[in-house]
Amino acid sequence: MYKVLLTLAFCVTFAFAFPASEAQYGDTPWEADVPMTVKGFHSFTQKFGLNYPDTTEYFQRLANYIKHAKAINTQNAAYRAGNSTWFARLNEHHALSEKEVVDLKTGYIPAPEFEFTNDHPMLNTTDAPNGVDWTDRLSGVQDQKCGDCWAFSAAAAMEFKCGAGKASEIEIRDCSGAGTCKGGNPFRAIQSSGSKGIESRSQYPVPPSSSSNQPCKAQGGSCHDGGVTTGSGAARLQSMVSTGVVSVTVAAGGQFMHYGGGVFTGTCGTSTNHAIAAVGYDSSNWKVRNSWGTSWGEGGYIRMPIGKNVCKVEKSFGMPR
């Protein structure tokens, strides 16, 4: 009880120590700071449908929110001053600690059978367009509920090949043998699931947001591939994205969880722990699709500069053949 009371006193004092306007969350983030107050936290929980009836958890979530709000406001001050290329935005994950986000919302595990080198022959190097965007070839951004990012990354690449909604993320997770809710490998998933075949979301009887492993309910489906092509380096990634959606791995720590828009050049941590999907590029930047819902980033997407290997996005990637 003493610990709870101490936590209560600390959090309430800390929350009211930072006067700020109670900005609406629809406001442009760099025009209005996120309020670091109890009232601001209540608005946040209502917006995202969060409820914390346990007193101890409530104050821990409040402390997490205030810590993140401070980081968001600091980043946006730098953006407003013209000292950064990206701004931060409050999203539904900001009641979690950074460790919880990494534990719950990542899940990439390397597999020794895949090599990532930049000495492979390029794909369409002379004919590659100046820019592509495959977003319209995919279904909506999903929100993973456990460490199965690898399945969502693989599904995005397979979905481009087979059609929107034609590759069930959860069938890949449950049936590919490439991983579980505790992590897995997207390239192994593309190779395994593409060989056996993948059912569509409408066929596989588990919703895309399933938060726990399920027994495999399918023996294969109509979505196939001929294996996986891997690579490393910005030039090779560009040549591959010019032909389709590519499963990419990234380091998703640090400021990555705060990304709201612009060209991301923030901190990402040192560990490659997450799998997402490169869906396009222009003359300067990659367009990459995450699986953290649409409240994160630019409707679930992030832009990163080409040739800078931000978050190690140009280090290891693959796509269906």
Catalytic residues, by residue number, are 149, 274, 290
Q: What's the rounded Cα separation, in Å, for the pair 260 and 71?
A: 13
Q: What's the rounded Cα separation, in Å, for the pair 110 and 90?
A: 31
Orientation of helix 38-48 relative to helix 2-15, angle to 10°: 100
- What burial letters (b/e) apply to 57-67, b meaning 16+ CB within 10 Å? ebbbbbbbbbe
Integer CA distances (angstroms), 241 to 92, 95, 299, in order:
30, 35, 20
